Amino acid sequence: MENSLEEREKELLAKIDPERLPGHVAIIMDGNGRWAKERGLPRSAGHRQGVETVREIVSCSHRLGIKVLTLFAFSTENWKRPAWEVNYLMSLPQQYLKKELPKLVEENVKVNLIGDPSRLPPPVQKAVNQGLEATRNNTGMVLNFALNYGSRMEIVRAVQGLLADIQEGRHKGPVTEEVFSRYLFTAGLPDPDLLIRTSGEYRLSNFLLWQLAYSELWFTRTYWPDFNRCHLLQAVYDYQQRERRFGKI
Ligand code: V07
């Protein structure tokens, strides 16, 4: 007989070493459209179910003790999708925060954003800023949404920022990896230890190219709306079975 989700969760939790958790988990949440298509539903239904998965994964990550969870919510490429779909996607940050913000505040979760918020519709900017503001002093898990994010854009902007600081005399001395990192959207956050991508695509798709240099990569054919806490726990368990050497022997 097939195990229930609860039993499977218990088994996985018993196998996971709480001392060796990935501090930072990043996720490319892919497959919402295909999930919907296979059910004869509109793509928006896939995105709506995807938000439910976000709730479950945030809650599981928090309970597990993960310190930073980064979710790729909207890429700089996603503007090329049909207007109705972009509009629907742009309703999700508000929808999510309206329902979840009290719980995030309560659970000491700190909301953070990476990407360029200036091109987002003003109501989205407002909702997201409220989320940042309401959780500003929280010290628990960092819930980091990549919104209008693209890694090459991030790197080019870092170069521009650094160049300006050098020209204006604000930065003196050598340009090291550590100095450069301070100009990325992820300044102050550790690099991801584990990247998860759902729905059977095996690409980075312009996500955290600099930051993923040494990360363990974990792929599943499961579509994001079907992804659940047991998949996350399995990814963490598999991560713990791998040996990370950072180029050393
Ligand atoms: C989005 C749901 C998850 C599947 C992938 C695409 C659709 C949560 C947010 C969000 C973003 C910022 C924020 C709070 C919540 C979100 C977009 C799409 C654009 F402060 N899910 N989700 N934003 N999807």
- As beta bridge partners, residue 27 has 71, 196
pLDDT > 90? residue 249: no
Atom of ligand 1 nearest to the CA of 96: 15
CATH of domain 20-240: 3.40.1180.10
Choose the residue to mutate in 74, 78, 100 for probing ligand 1, maximizing ligand atoms within 8 Å of C-beta: 74
Is residue 1's pLDDT more than 60?
no
Query: Looking at the annotation, which residues are catalytic?
Result: 30, 78
Q: Is the CB of 93 under 6 A from ligand 1?
A: yes
* CB of 96 sitting under 6 A from ligand 1: yes
Instruction: Take atom 7 of ligand 1 and give the residue whose Cα is closest.
Output: 47
> Using a 6 Å cutoff on CB, does residue 186 contact ligand 1?
no
The best mutation among 76, 92, 110, 149 to test binding of ligand 1, ranked by most ligand atoms within 8 Å of the C-beta, falls on: 92
Q: What is the pLDDT of residues 94-119, one digit of tens each?
A: 999 999 999 999 999 999 999 999 99
Q: What is the distance in A from the centroid of ligand 1 to the CA of 215?
A: 23
207 pLDDT above the threshold of 80 = yes
Distance 216 CA to ligand 1 centre (A): 24
* CA of residue 90 to ligand 1 center, whole Å: 8
Q: How many residues does the chain have?
A: 249
Regarding pTM above 0.95, the answer is: yes
CB 44 within 8 A of CB 85: yes
At 2, the pLDDT band (50, 70, 90 cuts) reads low
Contact present, 239 and 194 (Cβ < 8 Å): yes
Residue 115 CA to chain centroid, in angstroms? 12
CB 46 less than 6 A from any atom of ligand 1? no
**Element (DSSP H or E) covering residue 42:** none
Grouping H, G, I as helix, E, B as strand and the rest as coil, residue 69 is strand
**Gyration radius of the chain over CA positions:** 19
Interatomic CA distance for residues 246 and 241, integer angstroms: 16
Ligand 1 lined by 109 (C-beta under 6 Å): no
245 vs 16, higher pLDDT: 16
Please, what is the average pLDDT of the chain? 97
Which numbered atom of ligand 1 lies nearest the CA of 225? 4
Note the pLDDT of residue 27.
Answer: 99
231 to 5, 7, 17, 75, 174: CA distances (angstroms): 10, 13, 16, 24, 43
* Beta carbon of 195 within 6 Å of any ligand 1 atom: no
Q: What is the pLDDT at residue 97?
A: 98
Place 248 in a pLDDT band, splitting at 50, 70 and 90.
confident
Cβ–ligand 1 distance for 224 under 6 Å, the answer yes
